[in-house]
Amino acid sequence: MKTRLLMLASTLAITAGGAFAHHGWGSCDASRSVVIESTVTRAVWQNPHVHIGVTHDGAAWELVLAPPFRMDARGLEPDMLKVGTKVRAEGYVSTRTEREMRAERIAIGDRSFELR
């Protein structure tokens, strides 16, 4: 019985730790919408979110996009966000991390993708 309880407690701790590690979007200022038009300088296509780097107003910015499965479902594929690709992203600025934005939508060429 003790072994079973210990295993259950361990499983719950691991699961809760993973959920806690995901930052959520409460750290974004939804009253402050930002539009960034730039060229991708870095792209990381992995869980829990796709990240791209861009330069905006002379500074490096981190754009946090949707999870890969959602990007795929919306028709946005990894090869569309290669370094050098011009993008237009709209979203909200982080209140915790300087020069980080949660992107709500991104346009590449004449195609726009909703990321929510």
Residue 6: count of CB within 10 angstroms of its CB: 10
Cα-based angle 31, 37, 38 (whole degrees, multiple of 5): 130
Residue 13 placed within a domain: no
16 lies in some domain: no
Tell me how far apart the alpha carbons of residues 30 and 93 are, in angstroms, rounded to a whole number: 8
What is the predicted pLDDT for the residue at 67?
96
Secondary structure E strands in 17-99: 28-39, 42-44, 51-56, 59-64, 86-94
Residue 108 placed within a domain: yes
Q: Please give the share of the chain, as a percent, with pLDDT higher than 90.
A: 71
Element (H, E) at 96: none
pTM, two decimals, is 0.76
**How many CB atoms neighbour CB 45 within 10 A?**
17
Q: Please report, for the domain that includes residue 34, its CATH number.
A: 2.40.50.1010
Q: Could you tell me the residue range of the domain that residue 40 belongs to?
A: 25-114
Give the residue ranges of DSSP H helices in 39-105: 68-73
- Do the domain assignments include residue 10? no
Radius of gyration of the chain (CA): 17
Assigned domain for 87 exists: yes
The verdict on residue 68 lying in a domain is yes
User: How many angstroms separate the Cα of 32 from the Cα of each of 18, 40, 42, 56, 95?
Assistant: 29, 22, 24, 16, 10
The reply to whether 98 falls in a domain is yes
Domain assignment present for residue 19? The answer is no
Query: Tens of pLDDT along 14-36?
Result: 444 444 344 455 678 888 889 99
* Alpha-helix residue ranges (DSSP H) falling in 22-115: 68-73
Task: Please give the tally of structural domains in the chain.
Answer: 1
Provide mean pLDDT across the span 57-72.
96
